[in-house]
Amino acid sequence: MRFSKVPRSIRQLTTHVFAIFLGVLLTVSTLRVLPSQAEPAPISDKIGDAPELIAQKQSSAAVAIGNSSFVTAAVNRVGPAVVRIDTERTITRRVDPFMEDPFFRRFFGDSFPQQLPSEQLRGLGSGFIIDKSGLILTNAHVVDKADKVTVRLKDGRNFEGKVQGIDEVTDLAVVKINAGRDLPVASLGSSNAVQVGDWAIAVGNPLGFDNTVTLGIVSTLKRSSAQVGISDKRLDFIQTDAAINPGNSGGPLLNDRGEVIGINTAIRADAMGIGFAIPIDKAKAIATQLERNGKVAHPYLGVQMVTLTPELAKQNNTDPNSTFEIPEVNGVLVMRVVPNSPAAKAGIRRGDVIVQVDGLAIANAEQLQNLVENTNLGQALQVKVQRGNQTQQLSIRTAELQNATS
C-alpha cells in the first residue's frame, strides 16, 4: 500500500499544535498541586508533620495584662483586707453674736433660739487591715474629728471603729475594730524598693464606688509635700498616674506582687491624671507609735522658709520695690519666725539665710525639714546663718510640734 506523502508545512503545523496542547496540560496539572496565594497555608495537626509552623512569642505586655493578669492576682491577695470607712460628725452652729445683744433680744424675747439645729456631716474613705487583731491603717483626714466611725469589710460585715491615734503631720491614723482574729491582713511591702516605672495598683472606694481598682505606674518618687502644696505636712510622696479620687483616701497602693507600697491620699482637688501616696515604710513607723501612744512627737524649729539660690537673691536685690536685701548664697531663707518657738528663742530673724546645720551644708527647704524631723526632741542644733554681710552661729534646741499648722 502506498501512502500519499504529507506536505512539510502540514507536518510543522501539527508539531506546533501538539506542543501547545502539551504545555496547557502541564500548566493545569501544576495548578491542581500548588496552593492558591489567596488561601491560607495548611496547618499540620502533628508536630512532626511538614511544613512545621513556629508559634509567635507572646509579648511581655500581653503576658502582663492577659486573661489571668498580675492585677487580678494582686487584688485577690489584698482585696479582702481593704475596708470602707464611713464617718459621722455632728456640728452645732451658733446664732450670729449680734443677736445675743440685749437690745435685739428685747424685740425677739427668750423665744429666739441661741443655737441653730445640729447638722450631721458624713464622710467616706478607705483603709486596710494590718493586723489580725483588727488594726486598720488609713488617712488622718478620713477620721479626724469624727463622732462615729463605721468600718465595712468586703464580705459585708460592719463594725464600729475606735480611733487609736491620729497624726496630722503625716496624715496617718490607726483605727481598731473588734471582730475576732479571723480577719484578712494586707501584705506590706517596702517603699524603699520602689522604682519609677513600676506598676501601681490603687484599691479603695472612690466617690463611694466600693471595691474599685485602678492601674498605673509610679511616675515620681520623693515628691515633697511642699511641692505638692501642703506645707503643713512632712512627707515625701509616691506619685502615680493610677486614678486616686475622694473616697480612695486611706486605701492601699500595691505593687505587681500585691504588696502594699503606699497609702493613697486624695489631697489635690485639681490633680489631673496624677495621685499621691504615703510611702509604706514611713507609715509602718508611724502606725507603731500611734498604736502605742495615740500620737507622734515631731520636733520643730518654728520657721517658715523657702529655698534660696544666688539667682533668686539677685532678682530680689535688683527689684526697687524689695523691702530688704538678701545674701546671694545657697541656703534656706527664713520668711517668718513663729513667736515663742525654738527659733525665736535662739535669735533667728526674718531674712536670715540658714546655710549649715551641724556642719552640713543646707541646699533646700526639704533637706532642712527632713533633718529636723529626724532629730530627737530637745536636741541642740548648731545653725549657721547668713545675716546681711555677717555670719551668725546659733544654737537651736528643738521642741515638740503641738499644732500641725504652726
Question: Which residues does the annotation mark as catalytic?
Answer: 141, 171, 249
8-state DSSP, 285: H
| Residue 149 to residue 127: CA distance in whole angstroms | 12
What φ, ψ does residue 305 adopt, rounded to 5°?
Answer: -140, 160
DSSP for residue 247: T
Q: How many Cβ atoms from other residues are within 10 Å of residue 84's Cβ?
A: 22
Cell of 287: 502606725
How far out from the chain centre does Cα 196 lie?
12
For the chain, report the end-to-end CA distance as a whole number of angstroms: 136
Q: Which DSSP category does 241 fall into?
A: -
Residues in contact with 141: Cβ distance below 8 Å, sequence separation at least 6, in sequence order:
171, 249, 265
Strand 260-265 with 212-224, pairing:
unpaired
- Residue 264 is inside which H or E element, if any? strand 260-265
* 175 three-class SS: strand
Q: How far apart are CA 287 and CA 291, in angstroms?
A: 6
Q: Which residue has the cell 535669735?
A: 347
